Amino acid sequence: MSIIVAIDGPSGAGKGRLAQALCDKYDLAFLDTGLLFRATALKATLKGVAVDDDKALADVAKSLCDEDFEPINELRSEINGQVASKIAVLPKVRAALVSYMKKFAKTNGNKGDGAILDGRDIGTIICPEADVKFFITATPEERAKRRVNELQNRGIPVIFEEVLQEMTRRDRRDRERKDSPLVAASDAIVVDTSKMSIADVVDKAVKAVDKALACA
Q: Report in angstroms how near the CB of residue 119 gets to ligand DC at its nearest.
A: 3
Q: Report in angstroms how near the CB of residue 16 gets to ligand DC at its nearest.
A: 8
Among 88, 90, 93, 205, binds ligand DC (CB under 6 A): 88
Q: Report in angstroms how near the CB of residue 40 gets to ligand DC at its nearest.
A: 9
Distance CA 140, CA 125 (A): 25
The residue number with the shortest CB distance to ligand DC is: 34
Residue count at the site for ligand DC (CB under 6 A)? 14
The verdict on 119 binding ligand DC (CB under 6 A) reads yes
The verdict on 85 binding ligand DC (CB under 6 A) reads yes
Residue ranges binding ligand DC (CB under 6 A): 11, 33-34, 37-38, 81, 84-85, 88, 119-121, 170, 174
